[in-house]
Structure 1
Amino acid sequence: MRVLSIQSSVAYGHVGNSAAVFPLQRLGHEVWPVFTVHFSNHTGYGAWRGPLLAADDVREVITGIEERGVLGSVDAVLSGYQGGEDIGEVILDAVARVKAANPEATYTCDPVMGNARSGCFVQPGIPVLLRERVVPAADVITPNQFELGFLTGTEPLSLESTLDAVDRARAMGPHTVLVTSVERPDRPEGTIEMLAVDDSGAWIVRTPLLPIKANGSGDVTAALFTAHRHETGSIAEALARTASSVFGLLQATHDSGERELQLVAAQEHFASPAGQFEARQVR
């Protein structure tokens, strides 16, 4: 599998492409990372250094790849945090170019906007761009529960209301939706869930909820789910494998006492997840 991944990059830590590329490579996939920023560290620290790359520069990198005559071999385009509306347009253009060269290619969009605890933390125009332009062009989206509500104008809480919101999101264009950080009021205490839906049905997986805040875990999740879905053709299997690997990564990070994801130390969890969690069909 070949993945064109258009995301941020950091020198220290693991978010964006600095979180997504290595797990995909550890699974044996070829990844072509295109950076939208190159910062010293993620912005959660409150201070960082480095450039926000101009949209034209990002487009030039993609054009250079196209000039190698290889866009037709791309199986999936992956995008995450979009720092500005102009980058969104570059990503949409890249997706169109890839699909013109290979109509079987898919586009996975992680519509990063915020979370239930921090609220919306992107520029005001980004949610509108995602809802009106980017999500309709995607085949797969991987919002958290908060972002799903923002995209669909709903407040998903129960399983039923979350499934209803997913249906609304799928009506916008994507055929597959993975919802992360699902925290239903009626779930067992100390757990968290992921929900995946496509034409085959709806599946949910539950894991223990670890007491850590892990920047970049959503980027790893979107990358792994994209790879496993392509590899297995089953969202139930892709969901189970993804949840198992991400939990292993988070457990290793929690045990280390470090703030940053222990991506390298936990690499065996990508290739051979130690704790298998099963996906349960809910529709």
Structure 2
Amino acid sequence: MKNVLSIQPHVVFGHAGNSAAVFPMQRLGVNVWPLETMQFSNHMQYGHWAGSAIDAPQMAELVEGIGAIGMLRRCDAIVSGYLGSTDHVQAVIDIVRSVKATNPRAWHFCTPVIGKGAGAGVDEFLLRHMPEAVDGMSPTHDTLQKLVGRTIETVDEAVLACREVIRRGPSVVLVKQLLDRNSPADRVNLLIVTENEAWMSQHPRYPFARQPVGVGELTSAVFVARRLAGDSIRTAFEHTVAAVHAVLKATYDAGRYELELVAAQDDIARPREWLGAWFVDAA
């Protein structure tokens, strides 16, 4: 049984942060240790929420507590998502160092959330420091552009941008919602890039009245769980695309705003519709 320390916010109602990531990883056979950086009534896109964040020293204290009982060496991966302050970002970086000092094989996969109401300086801090502190990351198209400081309009340009980010630290970059001027408007593009591989996939775009929140956390969760299960980069990516598509389809078919994770749980574990991926040979 693999163990993942998941450092993300929690919502009591709905699915965002750990509330979108923990159950899918568990359904895929991973034991999850949720470290909840915030506890809110619901996600912020509703326009109203209640709750609060824990402070950075408490984050460190909780992880030190796991180490004190000798369990930190069993942590196989760290997943991090939305971080509301520069102190939280630094705390995650420090926690990753602590885990790796105990288990050098542990790896860190980050979903860098930029421009979503975080505190002053968080975006700049993430862009400047997080690539050097991760083994993998899953940016949106917009975040990838900010990481490399230029506009990206094609898949080939995105592959080259990912490899530029890879030279800063991560070994794999998974781009969500890649915008490509050559792709049909009714498809959602996803791209995964390593130093030697680049794979692209697509799934249908559903015309939601309001786009569901938590898709990024779900994407990272499934990918990390499948990599821990031993899948290759391509197979883990294909499973991720298929699982995310199944959840989005179930959500749209049900007329819901919150992700239908429970209804689609069997497809998260064993997707019935495998969409595949194709190799991208960027110059």
TM-score scaled by structure 2?
Answer: 0.95
Counterpart residue number, 2:259: 261
Equivalent position amino acid for 1:177 in 2? V
Q: 1:187 aligns with which of 183, 186, 196?
A: 183
Give, in whole Å, the separation in 2 of the partners of 1:165 and 1:39.
35
Aligned-partner SS, 2:51:
coil
Counterpart residue number, 2:164: 168
TM-fit CA distance, 1:157: 1.4
Stretches of structure 2 that go unaligned for 5 or more consecutive residues are none
Give, in whole Å, the separation in 2 of the partners of 1:152 and 1:72.
35
Counterpart residue number, 1:117: none
Give, in whole Å, the separation in 2 of the partners of 1:186 and 1:4.
38
TM-fit CA distance, 1:231: 2.0
Please identify, of 258-267 and 10-19, the stretch whose mean Cα deviation from structure 2 is larger: 258-267
Aligned-partner SS, 1:196:
strand
Equivalent position amino acid for 1:254 in 2? Y
Q: 2:48 aligned with 1:47, yes or no?
A: yes
Aligned-partner SS, 2:182:
coil
Counterpart residue number, 2:26: 25
1:29-51 Cα distance to aligned partner (Å, 9 max, x none): 10000010000000001110011
Q: 2:199 aligns with which of 203, 211, 220?
A: 203
Aligned-partner SS, 1:33:
strand
TM-fit CA distance, 1:121: 4.0
Q: 2:155 aligned with 1:154, yes or no?
A: no
Aligned-partner SS, 1:51:
strand
Does structure 2 retain, via aligned residues, the 8 Å contact 1:127–1:151? no
Counterpart residue number, 1:239: 237
Q: 2:217 aligns with which of 216, 219, 234?
A: 219
Give, in whole Å, the separation in 1 of the partners of 2:202 and 2:221.
19
Give, in whole Å, the separation in 1 of the partners of 2:266 and 2:120.
39
Give, in whole Å, the separation in 2 of the partners of 1:71 and 1:37.
22
Equivalent position amino acid for 1:10 in 2? V
Q: Alignment length, in residue pairs?
A: 278
Give, in whole Å, the separation in 1 of the partners of 2:231 and 2:23.
22
1:173-206 Cα distance to aligned partner (Å, 9 max, x none): 1010000101211112311111001134100011
Give, in whole Å, the separation in 1 of the partners of 2:227 and 2:113.
20
Q: How does 1:85-100 map to 2 (within 5 A)?
A: 85-100=86-101
Aligned-partner SS, 1:112:
coil
1:141-177 Cα distance to aligned partner (Å, 9 max, x none): 0001111111111211111211121111111110100
Does structure 1 retain, via aligned residues, the 8 Å contact 2:28–2:226? no
TM-score scaled by structure 1?
Answer: 0.95
Does structure 2 retain, via aligned residues, the 8 Å contact 1:16–1:216? yes
Call closer, same or farther: CA 1:126–1:84 in 2, change over 3 Å. same
Q: 2:227 aligns with which of 226, 229, 244?
A: 229
Counterpart residue number, 2:135: 139
Q: CA RMSD in A?
A: 1.2
Please identify, of 183-192 and 93-102, the stretch whose mean Cα deviation from structure 2 is larger: 183-192
Equivalent position amino acid for 1:66 in 2? G
Give, in whole Å, the separation in 1 of the partners of 2:164 and 2:119.
24
Percent sequence identity is 38
TM-fit CA distance, 1:233: 4.2
1:223-278 Cα distance to aligned partner (Å, 9 max, x none): 11111123234111111000000000000011111111111111111111121011
Does structure 1 retain, via aligned residues, the 8 Å contact 2:163–2:194? no
Give, in whole Å, the separation in 2 of the partners of 1:60 and 1:263.
31
Q: 4+ residue stretches of structure 1 with deviation over 3 A? A: 120-124
1:113-137 Cα distance to aligned partner (Å, 9 max, x none): 14xxxxx643341122112222211
Counterpart residue number, 2:122: 126
Aligned-partner SS, 2:50:
coil
Does structure 2 retain, via aligned residues, the 8 Å contact 1:181–1:193? yes
